[in-house]
Amino acid sequence: MKILANDGISSSGAKKITEYGYELILDTIPQEDLITYINENNVSAILVRSATKVRKDIIDSCPSLKFIGRGGVGMDNIDVEYGRSKGITVNNTPAASSQSVAELVLAQMLSSSRFTHWSNQEMPEKGASEFKVLKKKYAKGVELRGKTLGIIGFGRIGRSLAKYALGCGMNILAHDKDDIPETLPVEFGNGQSIDIKIEAGSFDDVITKSDYISIHIPKQSDGAAVIGEHEINKMKDGVRLFNAARGGVIDEDALLKGLDSNKIAFCMLDVFENEPNPRKDLLNNPRIITTPHIGAATLEAQDRIGIEMADLLHDTLG
């Protein structure tokens, strides 16, 4: 059987797929050529990340497909239910990258609190001549300890972030459409762990009471933003906002307005509404830390994703 990993796969995942006896194709086929390629090569499974879309047209036109795999969490680039209705197995690997995404958010929480992102940009040019000026400019950082982190979406990633934040001494206020556990097991080094109580709140509680807000929910089915001007106006003055979930869950116009008014002190964006062509006014805003959708892009996460995908594939195709 032929497996097309159109957005690539880790070497560990590739090795396991071939060990299972499948023919792995690592070519990247343009979106417009996928149907022809899959049919001409009798491809049984297609593995994607976020770049390749597997929509109704591919599902209807490629009868050889038995498995569609999404390496990572969100599956908004796949017509999941339609594929399943046609007898195709559609799976993702939601647990594999949770820690990586959480660590990226934590890194940017620390960076925005101590201005390391901006200081590092200025030091090479001005550090030798304006050291005291820069020292004064970046001398008003804040600590994470004692601050409230509001987490919207308390699934695997939200819980992973909560564990890191608890280790920094932050208070957690969590909201999710599903039930939130009363306690969260937090693992430390040397095999130690402790159960910590978690405070659950309404969506309104999170946006009004939090000093830092991190969003970990899928793109909404209607495409509507979850955080818009109305929600931003309810937030604390000087709130810090983080989105490593999906572009579009924050209204980008409202975000810029909130930054301009100083309602939002700083923002981190790993995802954008118009990927892969994000707005330049977001990229150039001096109070937004931007990364190119790399939340899950650690070597460890890619290994876990590849291995888990290989096992899911084999469970389906045998």
Which active-site residues does the annotation give?
Answer: 246, 275, 293
- Residues 207 and 314: their CA atoms lie apart, in Å, by 43
Given a contact cutoff of 8 angstroms between Cβ atoms, the answer to whether 46 and 54 are in contact is yes
Residues 6+ apart with CB under 8 A from 206: 150, 151, 152, 173, 174, 175, 213
Burial class (CB in 10 A: 0-12, 13-18, 19+), 59: buried
φ/ψ of residue 152, rounded to 5:
-100, 110
Token pair 């239910």: residue: 81
Q: What is the DSSP letter of 181?
A: -
- Residues 292 and 315: their CA atoms lie apart, in Å, by 33
- Residues 223 and 225: their CA atoms lie apart, in Å, by 7
Amino acid occupying residue 239: V
Collapsing DSSP to helix, strand or coil, 291 comes out as: coil
- Residues 94 and 74: their CA atoms lie apart, in Å, by 8
Residues 6+ apart with CB under 8 A from 70: 47, 48, 49, 77, 78, 90, 91, 92, 93
- Residues 218 and 68: their CA atoms lie apart, in Å, by 19
- Residues 264 and 251: their CA atoms lie apart, in Å, by 13
